[in-house]
Structure 1
Amino acid sequence: MSLISSAAGMKKQFTATGYVVNPDRTRMLMIFHKGLQRWLPPGGHVDPDEFPSDTVTREILEETGVNAHHIGTGAMDLALTANDEAQLPTPFAMAAQLIPESHKDIEHIHMDMMYLLEAEDSDPISARISEVDAARWFNRTSIINELTTTDSVRSFVRNTLEET
């Protein structure tokens, strides 16, 4: 049975994740997630009345101290000119993720919007220990071969990061 068909009736939450790469796309910013005990891109829950594209930049700053900016994914330009519409940065992918039961919550589903962002890897990282255990930049080989992470992260890295 697939995750999507087995998720009927389960609690679901919107999240936004920032796949932050350096300008030459040789490194990616990762955090060590306390609860899941694995290396992941920074991100978190979309707050009420918050655009998901703002969620991801807020979470990156909160978790790592890094100021990242959206670099887009080639979404259709709607050429909006009126004051009553605005085009938002578009996620490059969305995924459903099963989150195991913990002391904080029941087993549930994250509906994750994955955004492509860029930041200078020379800028200092200040991991907020209340948020994450660590934050670091990693190259392609380290992420694919050495880190405990997810298949979606490895797939992104294979398709996006350059060899160093």
Structure 2
Amino acid sequence: MHRKALLTLLKEHHPVTADEKAMTQATIEFVEANPACFERTLLIGHITASALIVSPDRQQVVLIHHRKLDRWLQPGGHADGDPDSRAVAFREAEEETGLTSLKLVSPAILDVDIHPIPARGDVPEHLHYDIRFLFEADPTEPFKLNEEVKDVQWVALNTITTRTNSVSVLRMVQKIN
């Protein structure tokens, strides 16, 4: 079963808030109920994966300014059929930042989040069931932008709220200290 590895990771995850616990349980139920959960053609929602990228001293994180959503977020995106959420998070982080020094800090899930995505064109509003992992990178390595990203920056933890007030991003940042 191609969903088994993700279900195992989700069941081993230890959420830090009641909201994240509820989202983790809802994600488990979604994955169990939907064999096509890794496909964006599943229009009710699908699995995505993200990377919270930190500096080795854990004082900075990478945020991207997402072109379509016009918000500062962590890098991440669609699984597009790949059931390996860690690999998806790595691929998306590399594509959206251009960083080649990325290293997975832990194979465990850092965070789970479910968030609505607005309707766009012929794609209805749907949910992203986002599986997040912690990565580290060299803060001296230059970024390379792609078409999905307006900007990429290292952001000091003590100034992160100047870029984002997203509860889910701030929840992840609290976990790295």
Which of 80, 84, 95 lines up with 2:113 in the alignment?
95
Which residue does the alignment assign to 1:107?
125
2:85 matches 1:69: no
| CA deviation profile, 1:98-129 (whole Å, cap 9, x unmatched) | 1111236210000000101100111111111x
Q: Counterparts of 1:130-149 in structure 2 under 5 Å? A: 130-144=147-161, 146-149=162-165
Normalized per residue, the structure richer in helix is 2
Alpha-carbon spacing, 1:38–1:104, altered in 2? closer, same or farther (3 Å): farther
Separation in 1, partners of 2:56, 2:113: 25
Structure 1, unaligned runs of 5 or more: 73-88
Matched-pair contact (CA < 8 Å) for 1:101–1:107: yes
2:170 matches 1:154: yes
Matched-pair contact (CA < 8 Å) for 1:38–1:149: no
Which of 133, 137, 141 lines up with 1:123 in the alignment?
141
Separation in 1, partners of 2:80, 2:120: 21
Provide the secondary structure at the position in 2 that maps to 1:133: strand
Query: What TM-score do the two structures reach when normalised by structure 2?
Result: 0.71
2:18 matches 1:18: no
| CA deviation profile, 1:7-52 (whole Å, cap 9, x unmatched) | 9xx7011000000001000100110011211100001001214511
Give the total of aligned pairs.
138
Matched-pair contact (CA < 8 Å) for 2:111–2:172: no
Which of 54, 62, 83 lines up with 1:29 in the alignment?
62
Which residue identity is paired with 2:73? Answer: L
Separation in 2, partners of 1:119, 1:70: 9
Query: What TM-score do the two structures reach when normalised by structure 1?
Result: 0.76
Separation in 1, partners of 2:82, 2:58: 32
Matched-pair contact (CA < 8 Å) for 2:63–2:155: yes
Separation in 1, partners of 2:52, 2:175: 12
Taking every aligned residue pair, what percent have the same amino acid on both sides? 31
Which residue identity is paired with 1:69? Answer: K
Structure of larger gyration radius:
1
Separation in 2, partners of 1:104, 1:120: 40
Separation in 1, partners of 2:108, 2:126: 24
Separation in 2, partners of 1:51, 1:149: 29
Separation in 1, partners of 2:168, 2:99: 22
Separation in 2, partners of 1:28, 1:110: 22
Separation in 1, partners of 2:171, 2:83: 28
